[in-house]
Structures are given as C-alpha cells and as structure tokens.
Structure 1
C-alpha cells in the first residue's frame, strides 16, 4: 500500500477543476462511454479545438484524465492518417481532507482482514492486527525513516525533548470516535509495523490514549550505559 501523493499535488489537481471550462470537459469525458477526442469534445461544448486541447491536456497533466492514441477510422498502414489523441477519466483517485485522513487505508485493511479471516477461520480481529502490521512494514520500508513515514501518512509527528515522538493527528479520527477499540488496535499495529519497516531502533511504539491527538506515541529506547 503506497502513500498518497503529496498534499500540494492533490490540491493542484482538484484546483484545476475550479475553471468552468475544464470542469465541463472533465464531466463530459467522465460521462462518455468511450474515450473522447478533441474534435468531439470541442463540438459538443461549442469550444475552439485549440482551447479544448489546452484544457484537456492540463487535466491529463494533473492526473485527472488518461490519454491514449488510436486511429478512429480503423484503417492501418500508409495513408491511414495520424492516430487521434483520446481522453478518458483516469482510474486513480484524488482525495483531500484537512486535516489529513486515511479512511481509504483503514477500509483496505479491514476488507483484507475480513476476506482472509473468512478463508482461514482466524478471528477477524487477530487477522486485522496481522494485516495492519504487514501494511505498516511495507510503508516503513518505502520511507527514509520513521518520521518521514509518519509525515507522509498524515500523523504529524512532533519531536519531544526526551527524544520521543508524539502524534499531532489521527488519520482515522472519525472511525476511532465510533469504533475506538478496533481502530486504535489497527492504528497501534500499523505504527509498530511502520517503525519496524523503517528500521527504527531508537523508539518503542506504545499505546497512550492521552498522547497528543493520537492514541499511540513513540518513546525513546533507554540507553544502556557503556
């Protein structure tokens, strides 16, 4: 499970739709059952081809549209003409929440746990703990260190004077309010996995409901006198 794109990139993509022409083109392409070319889009919305091309390419540049090239005539070989540039809605999702939330990650972990539990017979909460820890290790391994992994995933780590880390945000806040025990356990196992995957030997992940805005904190490992 990969981390979401940086917030500035996601904000820029969504802000692109603030332009009414781009928004109309995005809606037109999204509603089309087949990839749409520039000429068809321009004709439908009564725009010039150059204006249409500019805005479609901008939407593709920020990841909202996918692009492919295909000859619409169906002909091949010499004389068949140049392939047309066609647009369709991109498969990816762009989500923004302020403060950062990771409800999609929680959903993926819970769905995976339910699926695996149904196949193995292992209790679903035990499966969820294992799945969350595994996902955390993958996140940590893909990060430079524990702090950068926590930052990229919306935990807002804050260094304490004693070398510990308190978290300024819970990416699962709304879920944790209504399903506290399940979500806090998921969160704890995820963060243990992140620390393990990042190779962090300087901290121990502990459950602490009174720490910052998250139920987990990283405390420094005591130094053994030489």
Structure 2
C-alpha cells in the first residue's frame, strides 16, 4: 500500500494473510464473518467444537491483525448494578487486506482519477490537469517532513523497487502496471507527477523525474537534476 509518511498508518498485509493460513484460525474467521451478529468466544468454540481457550487465543490473534473487531455487549439486556460484565464479542472488521506481489496500488489510481473527474466537472478545468495536480500533491505528502536523504527508503516504502544506475535511479516496479499498459499516457503522466511531487517533498534530493519507458521497469526514471531550483510542480 502507498504509505503516507506524514502520519502513522496501519499497514496490514502479509502478516494478516499469514494469520489466516492456520487452519483453525481460518475456520474461526470464516464462522465469525458469516454470522449476522457479533460472536462470543463460547459461541465460536461450541460451533466449531473447540476448547474455549483455543478459540479465545485465535480470535484475539485475528483481532490483533485487524481482521476482526472486538465489541463489548451485555447479552442479557440488563443494565446497572448486578447486570454483570459485558461479554467480549467479535465481528468482521471493516479493514480491507490485500497482498500483491509485485506491489500494486490500483485503488490509489482509482481514487486520484475519480477526484480528478469530479473536480473537472465542477470547475471546468481539464481532467488531465487536475489529475496531474492531485498526483503531485499526493507525492509531496508521501515524502513526509525531514527526509531529504531518504530517497531510496521512501521509494521502497511506496513499492517502486528503486535500483541505482550510475547517478540515476531506475524503478524496478510500477505500482500501476496493468493500468499503465492499457492507458499509458494517462497513467504514466499521473505517475510522473506523483514522483515529481515526492522528489520535491524530499528537500534537496538532487533528482528529477522524467518519462523514460523501458522493458521491465517503471515508465519514470530519476536522474540528477541540473537545475534543482525549477522544481516539478505542474502548471
């Protein structure tokens, strides 16, 4: 997933998927998400023929991976003194978990394109101009504050798989690969401005982004900037 370095962001992914690889845990997850109401440890254990301690362990592991939410309710319906402690219940989390190898970010592209279309319809500005501006702004935010010397680290975080090529950087992965193949001009332009924003956000990176498609690489190449002061902000 694209990571906004300017704020703390949960990063579910491989560990969450790995948690579901355990057969008992996967059975518990499937049982909980099929129920119309939150499920208690006792209910889950009884439904699957498990010891309560076993069910509790796996349910809490699923909650720890943000695959299930924990809620507390009094099943008796009673309130006040003597009503007893609320039961710990589990339900499907709203968190969406996807893992893609190589890393892809089609949801991000969809959001940028949708924002550009909506703003274009309301303001009359050309869609492509809005898309480039939105992508540039996102790139600048992704850079985060105070990370001038961390170009490789930031690019790795965003799934670009950077590699040195002399003084330049080539990107071994395009997070928008399938879209770029079918809509090259639109998606590569978006990606170019996103990376320009990212480089401008990384103060004194000394690099510029330009389109340089080549087989097996992202369409954008990062090269030493002969005039860093010009920046890459879209007009």
CA deviation string 1:98-150 (max 9, x = no partner) = 11111111111112112222222222111111111111111112683332221
Of the three residues 104, 111, 114, the one matched with 2:114 is: 111
Q: Distance in 2 between matches of 1:56 and 1:89?
A: 11
Consecutive unaligned residues of structure 1, counting only runs of 5 or more, are: none
Q: Distance in 1 between matches of 2:178 and 2:2?
A: 22
**Alignment of 1:120 onto 2:123:** yes
Q: Distance in 2 between matches of 1:142 and 1:43?
A: 51
* TM-score scaled by length of structure 1: 0.89
Aligned to 1:93: 96
Q: Distance in 2 between matches of 1:155 and 1:215?
A: 11
Given the superposition, is the C-alpha separation of residues 143 and 96 from structure 1 closer, same or farther in structure 2, using an over 3 Å criterion?
Answer: farther
Alignment of 1:161-176 (within 5 A): 161-162=166-167, 164-176=168-180
Aligned to 1:204: 208
Computed over aligned residues only, the root mean square deviation of the Cα atoms, in angstroms, reads: 2.2
Aligned to 2:164: 159
* TM-score scaled by length of structure 2: 0.86
Count of aligned pairs between the two proteins:
221
Q: Distance in 1 between matches of 2:81 and 2:224?
A: 69
Aligned to 1:70: 73
Q: 1:13, CA displacement in angstroms?
A: 1.1
CA contact (8 A) 2:211 2:219 kept: yes
Q: 1:212, CA displacement in angstroms?
A: 5.8
Aligned to 1:79: 82
Consecutive unaligned residues of structure 2, counting only runs of 5 or more, are: 4-8, 229-235
Q: 1:23, CA displacement in angstroms?
A: 1.2
